[in-house]
Structure 1
Amino acid sequence: MSPSDLTTAPDAPVDRVLEFPDNRLLIDLCGPFDAHLASIENALEVQIVRRGNHLSVLGEADAADRAAALLNTLYARLEGGRSVEPADIDSALRMGGSEAGTGVRAGDQIEMQIGETVEIHTRKKRVEPRTAAQKAYVRSLFDNELAFGIGPAGTGKTYLAVAVGVSMFIGGHVDRIILSRPAVEAGEKLGYLPGDMKDKVDPYMQPLYDALNDFLPGKQLAKLLEEKRIEIAPLAFMRGRTLSNAFVVLDEAQNATSMQMKMFLTRLGEGSRMVITGDRTQVDLPRGVPSGLADAERLLKSIPKISFNYFTSKDVVRHPLVAAIIEAYEADLGTG
């Protein structure tokens, strides 16, 4: 009998008993020192007791049902050969209540959140988007020639875009990868950094290097960079180019001016795909200079085959405190 089949009054305390036949997978489900169970207990205010290959979930009916649904889905994930990480649990818990009032039960939402597999294969690792918004975003990157990813820091916009780019590159769908960012100072002056222009610019590009290092072996990445089959360059360096048969990513696009954004978008050539990522709340342009990302969103939203994908604090896959910090700032902006 599944938890959703029981008809206990919503606020009555209940005991949901779940059986997990594979003790090895049950150990992975519980986590090191039962850390995964503790996370679920703290978030849902339930108690989870392990007895042999059974888990007993005690608490109010709604919370117990949700915890049971999450545990069952995580176990199914392990049966499918996938791992369960703290971030998977955290994002599922935060996304589980996002459909309140829409007729979708919490357990059903968790099932959609974790149960559906979307994977990106690279040379070093298999990347799996964790939230529904991330899964929709990855699909749009494969399906559309031009896609936007808009939302707060830590939601995987750039990381997933680079992963898709690497996957398409090693699959032979594109001949090169081009990653770009506006070199806009966030409170620090570029000219005071030591070294030549490359030395000055590279710190701004470091997040892109970090992502590539996650997906490609070091020697292969170095060779591809040397051969210019992978390029990382400031946005200003894109002027006058036509980018054909390439996977092109513009990161931190909120710091591109309207003219820079138009210039970049019109670089799109035959056989290429372009991804624009940005966070509308982190604009570092001088006061009075409009963001090219906002203009592009306003002007291009009605054009078919251009995908706009949005993220919220619920899609943050960094430390759980990052989501709480973003929510606090969003709440302050809403009341300011």
Structure 2
Amino acid sequence: MASQENGDVPAGDVEQHVVVPPGVSISALLGPVDSVLRAVENGFETVDVRVRDEEIVLRGPEADVSVAARLVAELIDVVAAGATLTADVVTRSIEMLATATAASTRPSEVFAMDILSSRGRTIRPKTVGQKRYVDAIDASTVTFGIGPAGTGKTYLAMAKAVQALQARQVSRIVLTRPAVEAGERLGYLPGSLSEKIDPYLRPLYDALHDMIDPATVPKLLEAGTIEVAPLAYMRGRTLNDAFIILDEAQNTSTEQMKMFLTRLGFGSTMVITGDITQVDLPGGTQSGLRVIEDILTGVDDVEFCRLSSSDVVRHRLVSEIIDAYSRWDVQTSSPDGGHRGSRDRQHEKGHRR
């Protein structure tokens, strides 16, 4: 990036030129129908943004122009890495720069990180929290991804599992989740045992089909290279050389959580995901995910990653709905902390690392 000051600007304003390198497509930087350019303008209302040949010209108050220039430089790095820019990437990048510190993750480090390329698209983290989660999976043998719906906990873990399988870092993938409701209603559902349990495993199959050619999935399942099974099927096993994912872990009891974690074998990686605000266990049963951080604090090679509403990558309303429920939990909690949502937050606050 090259910049220069131009004195021919209104008093109090500055002008900065950001040169787009020859290897970066200006059209990719501006986005379809200039959607990226419009998003930059919307994010900096005091800055005039213009395109002049192979330059982005920024004019306005010095502090705002400085941040806008950093943003454009980050977007250039994202495009140079082969990633596609969208208005959402711009919005999230502005949020990152607004809260940036010396140790902060740069937007280009998030949006240019490739996990898996499949069927014409690339799976990448979309928030700082997701980037830290993916990094934790790379660095730790056991990783817990805890957070609300829509934060990519399971999807990113699945992508890392497929990546590890393709790179021959593991020889198989094991995907499991508790079938809590099935335990109560199994006899009322038609079909064999596998057909009754299948609806509870369907989200895992859906994610698999997003990441692997659907035609090859049945072959991998038949060969045992990929196994999708309810948690009860894990008892008594030792899982070596595998990437193991436990989904919906908030619906495990403390005994089930211990049983699952002790299945870990040599050369394996475990990722446990869940949302402690959505526990479906019968009354009186303690969630194993709620207490696991207390139990494993100080154990080496175990990482806890907490995702929040700011990491939601679904419709923007999902994030707002999660925040609204959190406010409602606070307002309706009893003084003694009897409301489940209040207890969850007190637990999270007291034991956050």
- The TM tier, using the shorter chain, reads 0.7 to 0.9
Structure 2, unmatched stretches of 5+, are 7-11, 333-353
Letter in 2 for 1:32: P
TM-score by length of structure 2 reads 0.79
Residues 28 and 84 in structure 1, CA contact (< 8 A), matched pair in contact too: yes
| Superposition deviation, residue 132 in structure 1 | 2.8
Residues 148 and 275 in structure 1, CA contact (< 8 A), matched pair in contact too: yes
Q: Compared with structure 1, are the counterparts of its residues 52 and 275 closer, same or farther at alpha carbon in structure 2 (3 Å cutoff)? A: same
Residues 2 and 19 in structure 2, CA contact (< 8 A), matched pair in contact too: no
CA–CA distance in structure 1, aligned partners of residues 114 and 24 of structure 2: 24
Paired residue for 1:154? Answer: 150
Give me the identity figure in percent. 42
Paired residue for 2:257? Answer: 261
Are residue 113 (structure 1) and residue 107 (structure 2) matched? Answer: yes
Residues 87 and 318 in structure 1, CA contact (< 8 A), matched pair in contact too: no
| Superposition deviation, residue 73 in structure 1 | 0.8
CA–CA distance in structure 1, aligned partners of residues 185 and 62 of structure 2: 56
| Superposition deviation, residue 74 in structure 1 | 0.8
Paired residue for 1:32? Answer: 32
| Superposition deviation, residue 184 in structure 1 | 2.8
Q: Tell me the SS of whatever aligns to 1:277.
A: strand
Q: Compared with structure 1, are the counterparts of its residues 71 and 332 closer, same or farther at alpha carbon in structure 2 (3 Å cutoff)? A: farther
Q: 1:143 aligns with which of 139, 144, 148?
A: 139
CA–CA distance in structure 2, aligned partners of residues 252 and 74 of structure 1: 35
| Superposition deviation, residue 335 in structure 1 | 4.3
Residues 257 and 289 in structure 2, CA contact (< 8 A), matched pair in contact too: yes
| Superposition deviation, residue 152 in structure 1 | 1.8
For residues 59-138 of structure 1, the aligned pairs below 5 Å read 60-99=61-100, 104=101, 109=104, 112-115=106-109, 117-121=112-116, 124=119, 126-138=122-134
Paired residue for 2:197? Answer: 201
| Superposition deviation, residue 126 in structure 1 | 4.1
CA–CA distance in structure 2, aligned partners of residues 181 and 228 of structure 1: 17
TM-score by length of structure 1 reads 0.83
The structure with more radius of gyration: 2
Are residue 316 (structure 1) and residue 312 (structure 2) matched? Answer: yes
Letter in 2 for 1:128: R
Paired residue for 1:214? Answer: 210
Shifted more, 326-335 versus 162-171: the winner is 326-335
Shifted more, 220-229 versus 58-67: the winner is 58-67
Poorly superposed stretches of 4+, deviation over 6 Å: 1-6
CA–CA distance in structure 2, aligned partners of residues 86 and 189 of structure 1: 45
Q: Compared with structure 1, are the counterparts of its residues 21 and 146 closer, same or farther at alpha carbon in structure 2 (3 Å cutoff)? A: closer
CA–CA distance in structure 1, aligned partners of residues 18 and 4 of structure 2: 13
Paired residue for 1:9? Answer: none
| Superposition deviation, residue 303 in structure 1 | 0.7
Residues 144 and 305 in structure 1, CA contact (< 8 A), matched pair in contact too: yes
Q: Tell me the SS of whatever aligns to 1:309.
A: strand
Residues 14 and 62 in structure 2, CA contact (< 8 A), matched pair in contact too: yes
CA–CA distance in structure 1, aligned partners of residues 97 and 4 of structure 2: 15
CA–CA distance in structure 2, aligned partners of residues 262 and 335 of structure 1: 35
Shifted more, 66-75 versus 321-330: the winner is 321-330
Q: Compared with structure 1, are the counterparts of its residues 71 and 223 closer, same or farther at alpha carbon in structure 2 (3 Å cutoff)? A: same
Q: Compared with structure 1, are the counterparts of its residues 193 and 163 closer, same or farther at alpha carbon in structure 2 (3 Å cutoff)? A: same
Q: Compared with structure 1, are the counterparts of its residues 288 and 113 closer, same or farther at alpha carbon in structure 2 (3 Å cutoff)? A: farther
Q: Deviations over 1:188-222 (max 9, x none)?
A: 96665554333332222222112212221122222
Letter in 2 for 1:66: V
Paired residue for 2:347? Answer: none
Paired residue for 2:230? Answer: 234
Letter in 2 for 1:70: L
Q: 1:181 aligns with which of 168, 177, 180?
A: 177
Paired residue for 2:342? Answer: none
CA–CA distance in structure 2, aligned partners of residues 92 and 112 of structure 1: 8
- Count residues with an aligned counterpart: 323
Q: Compared with structure 1, are the counterparts of its residues 333 and 121 closer, same or farther at alpha carbon in structure 2 (3 Å cutoff)? A: same
Q: Tell me the SS of whatever aligns to 2:98.
A: coil
Residues 5 and 17 in structure 2, CA contact (< 8 A), matched pair in contact too: no
CA–CA distance in structure 1, aligned partners of residues 203 and 21 of structure 2: 43
Shifted more, 288-297 versus 196-205: the winner is 196-205
Paired residue for 1:295? Answer: 291
Q: Deviations over 1:133-175 (max 9, x none)?
A: 3222222212222111111222221111111111111222212
Root-mean-square deviation (Å): 3.1
